[in-house]
Structure 1
Amino acid sequence: MRKIAIFIVTGVLLLLCATPALANGIPKLPHAFYGSVEINGASAPGGTQVSATVNIGEIISTQNPVTTVGDSFGIGSLYLLVQGYDIPDGATLTFYVNGVSTSQTDTFVAGGGPTPLALTVTIAPAAPSGNGVGGAGPAYYGETTIFGIEGRLLIDSEGKILRAIEATSADGKLTITIPKGTIALDKHGNPLSSLTADIDPSPPDPPEDAHIIGLAYDLGPDGATFDPPITIEYTYDPDEVP
């Protein structure tokens, strides 16, 4: 058996499948939102990040995310905008506070709003390190589903991973390692709120004169970045190589 270590040198995590490109042209009119934010039952502090995702299409990053002024956004400050080239009316929007899902949703309408929101979220505090040294800021738990096992991603407000992650696939061939201290951000520059890895049942065809050895894996979210780059180690049997 041989092992190869794959370093994501650019720090960009791409899905191991084709990603549709955005259509050319002018994006649809945005849907604007404003409102209040509560964290753990209390008014959110100024500078809290508010963002939205969509279940169909691709959002552009203009005014998404935005930050609160006091405990509100879009009230004497910038609206949160949801806008893209291929988002259909009726698409489901989900809202996040500091990268943590509020589980609150709304429906996209091109040119819609301003629509009021009252966002509330519970963010579990990080466990104390026990070394007597104060932390750099609040920490949050995100969700992970790696090789079918659900877990928690401990990350601070700057995107720093506070607890190392190492996971191996059920067949023992693929190992993902994310060291403590890695800065992990989504494609919008927010701290990661989720991390997934699983077998891809329908991978794209390989390039000409290339072959897929063993299983293909799908890593997400698309566009996530890691600094320093993470390591993906794959073990294979040389006899499987054509």
Structure 2
Amino acid sequence: MKRIIGAALIVIVLTFGLAIPVSASSLGISPSKIDIEVPQGGSAIAEFKVYYYTGDLNVTLVDLPFEVEPKVIHATTSPTDVVLTFYASAMQPQDEYNGYVRFLSSGNTVALAVNIVATVTVSLSANIVDPPIRYGGGGGGGIPVYGYDADLFGTSDKLRIDYYGKVKDDVEAISNDGNLTISIAKNTTALGQDGKRLKGLAIEASENPPASPENKSIIGLPYTFSPSGATFDPPMELTWNYDPDALPEGTVEEELVIAFYDEAIEEWVELECVVNTSTSAITTSVSHFTDFAILAKTVDKKPDDAPIVVSPPQPIIKPEPQPLPTPITPVAPPPVVEPAKPSQQPVTITATPAPPPPVDTPRTASWWLIIGIVAGSIVVVGSIIVLKKRLDRSK
């Protein structure tokens, strides 16, 4: 039981010992142990904090076959952040090494050693980094800055970037034809697809760009920005000039856009842009690397030799006027004459013509009605006179 309790106490002490700074007099270093992997011919980073001490500290390695930078740390505050870079030669055997980093004050009054377990690895794809070219933060205790190759439109340059991915200088590059300008502001965080600091960049004209989307056409040269997946915070700025005289007929300049090719969905994605038609330039912000191009809407038009067919105007056919119905003139019926009864006494017969039935006639036929009535009356009167004469003769 005592052995179990003793082992538990040792574990607890070791656990807290790794979490708190190792101290000697007025010097503390945290953490007290670090495991790192160093590729052959490459380098690895280890970060420390220095507590309770201000002044210079000399850095040396014990039982570790590497080079270390910086060799002197300037501790100005408590805590002071320290980044050490360990370099392995290209001939370093692949093995695990257990040693120490020793921090010794300039007057050799205080010293501390931090346990380092370093494994040398061999990898054909290992990132071989340049030695730091400058240190910031007040001397050797600052964050190391690296110089990586930058191929900007065929021009070789150096991209200065620190351990955390901060770009140390303003970067501006212009394409060979003068149409495309990229601007990366100082202190922009530039990271690779693995989330670590960007280790170089390249921009070149795309020889085999993805096909343009439907109803769109690519204007000018598209460009490939690599490495694909690199990110920038804040985004870098693109200014892309175009030749208005070279635009397809019917293109509306205000509708030109810069687009990037999204490999995940295999489509061009349009960016928010500002088109300045007075300078023939399009401006946008880009936060990652891939293929970029200017896109314009495709305008459909008929061939110049296609005949234009104009349909003749159709005649307007007016309906023929229909004649009005002819009014019907009513005719009075003939008088009804009863035969005379034989008698010795003369009989006087008075025939009264029956009035004609009322007929609704248009006003235009009233004169014909009057003439008919007069004619009928004459006939009746004449018949009476003739009948009377016959009666008089018969007497």
Q: TM-score, normalised by structure 1?
A: 0.53
Percent identical residues: 36
Q: Which runs of 5+ in 1 are unaligned?
A: 1-33, 50-68, 81-91, 97-101, 103-120
Pick the structure with more helix per residue.
2
1:72 aligns with 2:118: yes
- Distance in 2 separating the partners of 1:93 and 1:186: 19
Deviation at 1:237, TM superposition (A): 1.7
Match of 1:126 among 108, 114, 134: 134
Question: Runs (4+) of structure 1 moved beyond 4 Å?
Answer: 37-41, 43-49, 132-136
Deviations 1:139-181 (CA, angstroms, capped at 9, x unpaired): 1111100110111000000000001110000100000100111
Deviation at 1:133, TM superposition (A): 5.3
Checking the alignment, whether the CA contact within 8 Å between 1:47 and 1:70 is kept in structure 2 is no
Checking the alignment, whether the CA contact within 8 Å between 1:43 and 1:71 is kept in structure 2 is no
- Distance in 1 separating the partners of 2:151 and 2:245: 31
Checking the alignment, whether the CA contact within 8 Å between 1:36 and 1:71 is kept in structure 2 is no
Determine helix, strand or coil for the equivalent of 2:210.
coil
Structure 1 residues 44-55: aligned runs within 5 Å? none
Determine helix, strand or coil for the equivalent of 1:191.
coil
Deviations 1:111-162 (CA, angstroms, capped at 9, x unpaired): xxxxxxxxxx54132277xxx9568511111110011011100000000000
- Distance in 2 separating the partners of 1:234 and 1:36: 43
- Distance in 2 separating the partners of 1:185 and 1:48: 19
Deviation at 1:219, TM superposition (A): 0.6
Q: Which amino acid aligns with 1:93?
A: L
1:42 aligns with 2:67: yes
Determine helix, strand or coil for the equivalent of 1:166.
strand
- Distance in 2 separating the partners of 1:199 and 1:182: 24
Which residue does the alignment assign to 2:272? none
Checking the alignment, whether the CA contact within 8 Å between 1:46 and 1:70 is kept in structure 2 is no
Aligned residues: 150
Deviation at 1:240, TM superposition (A): 2.7
Q: Which amino acid aligns with 2:134?
A: A
Deviations 1:31-87 (CA, angstroms, capped at 9, x unpaired): xxx9545659614798869xxxxxxxxxxxxxxxxxxx936248xxxx99xxxxxxx
Q: Which amino acid aligns with 1:42?
A: E
Q: Structure 1 169/208 Cα, relative in aligned 2: closer, same or farther at 3 Å? A: same
- Distance in 1 separating the partners of 2:240 and 2:161: 26
Q: TM-score, normalised by structure 2?
A: 0.34
Checking the alignment, whether the CA contact within 8 Å between 2:145 and 2:160 is kept in structure 1 is yes
Task: State which structure, 1 or 2, has the greater radius of gyration over its C-alpha atoms.
Answer: 2
Q: Which amino acid aligns with 1:198?
A: E
- Distance in 2 separating the partners of 1:136 and 1:226: 23
1:138 aligns with 2:144: yes
- Distance in 2 separating the partners of 1:215 and 1:241: 13
Q: Which amino acid aligns with 1:143?
A: D
Deviation at 1:241, TM superposition (A): 2.7
1:93 aligns with 2:139: no
- Distance in 2 separating the partners of 1:215 and 1:148: 15
Structure 1 residues 222-241: aligned runs within 5 Å? 222-241=228-247
CA RMSD after TM alignment: 3.5
- Distance in 1 separating the partners of 2:166 and 2:151: 19
Q: Which has the higher contact order (CA 8 A, sep 6+)?
A: 1
- Distance in 1 separating the partners of 2:173 and 2:218: 22
Checking the alignment, whether the CA contact within 8 Å between 1:46 and 1:71 is kept in structure 2 is no
Match of 2:172 among 144, 149, 166: 166
- Distance in 2 separating the partners of 1:168 and 1:196: 13
1:188 aligns with 2:194: yes
Q: Structure 1 182/122 Cα, relative in aligned 2: closer, same or farther at 3 Å? A: closer
Q: Which runs of 5+ in 2 are unaligned?
A: 1-35, 45-65, 70-81, 87-114, 249-395
Q: Structure 1 159/35 Cα, relative in aligned 2: closer, same or farther at 3 Å? A: closer
Determine helix, strand or coil for the equivalent of 1:162.
coil
